[in-house]
Amino acid sequence: MKQLHIVLIPSMAQGHMIPMLDMAKLFTSRGLIATIIATPSFSAPITKSQLSGFDIGLSVTPFPPQGSSLPPNIVSFGQITDPDLNSKFLRAMELLQEPVEAILQQIRPDCIISDMFLPWTADSAAKFGIPRLAFYGTSFFAQCLLEKFGIHKPLDNVTMTSDPEVILVPGLPHELKFEISQLCPFFLEETANDFTRVFEKMNEAWKKTYGEVVNSFNELESAYANHYTNVIGRKAWGIGPLLLCSDKNLQRGKESTIDEHECLAWLDSKRPNSVVYVCFGSLATFSRAQLAETAAGLEASGQDFIWVVRKNEEGDEEEDWVPLGFEERVRNKGLIIRGWAPQVMILGVCAGMPMVTWPLFGDQFFNEKLVTEVLGIGVSVGNKRWMMRDSEGVEREAVARAVEEVMVGGGAAEMRRRAENYKEMAKKTIEEGGSSYNNLNTLIEELSNYVAPTKQDTN
């Protein structure tokens, strides 16, 4: 049987590209050929992996592509600060279809695994007579909720409560309530918009898609993995956590803005389980007022912390949000990293820890429910409003309360015990006999059987 060749196509955001790179490593470890089609600004981590000995192919295509009205300096979704650029960015991603298909014509893979936000790849796969798998970097839990809510009039599928601002989502393994303000506002609009159109295309693409690959594992959320595949009827394989496929010493994203040895030395100077890691990812932005409230809350909590503060894309170094004397007062308790942090290394030190949840947008309010109510390993900071940009509204008292509760509160020990159990489950699931290990075997076997004998003979 020929060696299967998988092409992976991530979208242009760090949080979407990095798991794809981890997945490529996973496939090559099982003897498959893996090639990533990436844009120039996202090719560096792949090149680093190649230089570190990972046999991963790389094909680069320009972005923005020819014919795009997107400004040439906008190469990542994380750079967008003007909402008017959203539609141009989404259109630019669609214009990648032609150059990507030119690459596919050249390398002739056996399967495409593409980001969920690239639905046109289903048509590309059909043109070449190969299966397309959609990659979902979120949880089965969140996918179940997305199916429930749908788009346009999602409140038709839920149950209103005595509080007009609170809804109950029926038909799931747990009773779940949400405030309407926590739902994506784009889905509440009666008319189509840029984002609902993308989701409509995703739903259409699903009809032509062979299945879904999910960055989760059955042992973590078995009820929702079963619900998604057996009740909703989606063909999906949980093969995560993909993070564990990465070498913690290998830089996966952008270059760290702090010396990793300095960071590790600082952590080593602290007691075990005593440091809070504060990070909001590569897309979240906060108002200056919210940054100041967060700083005050961390200080008031009295806990040691590492806080990763995202630099804005314009390179503005202005930091008038920093409370007067803050850095001097927390010098021995807090480490502030401005820019990109060595997150894999940091989490390698403290994996298995409970969380303070601070959802902002996307599926984050769904994931908060999973962490706090289903798994019981976290405390909500109390944010109630879905907001993509310049998030604000969480006061310092709420920050301090949540941090104290998860670190030294009455339920902290039990949350830590549960989190440690999930950590061990995560390790075992990717080992022989674990669900993710077995799911990957099943997926590879199905893809091998899908390849027509005539194609095997001609390759």
The one catalytic residue in 110, 115, 304, 363 is 115
Closest alpha carbon to 370 in 200, 227, 233: 227
97: tokens are 């279809």
115 is catalytic: yes
Contact 419, 353 (CB under 8 A): yes
CA end-to-end distance (rounded Å), the chain: 11
Local structure of 337: helix, strand or coil: strand
**Separation of alpha carbons 333 and 305, rounded Å:** 6
The one catalytic residue in 16, 227, 304, 363 is 16
168: tokens are 């109950």
**Separation of alpha carbons 257 and 328, rounded Å:** 20
Task: Supply the DSSP symbol for 391.
Answer: B
Report the alpha-carbon angle 387-391-394, nearest 5. Answer: 115
Closest alpha carbon to 102 in 212, 14, 7: 7
For residue 62, is the peptide bond before it cis, meaning its omega torsion is within 30 degrees of 0?
no
Task: Supply the DSSP symbol for 264.
Answer: H
- Sequence length of the chain is 459
Closest alpha carbon to 132 in 273, 310, 9: 9
H-helix segments, 128-259: 140-149, 185-188, 194-206, 222-226
Residue 299, amino acid = E
163 is catalytic: no
β partners of residue 213: 135, 237
**Separation of alpha carbons 240 and 176, rounded Å:** 25
Catalytically active residues are 16, 115
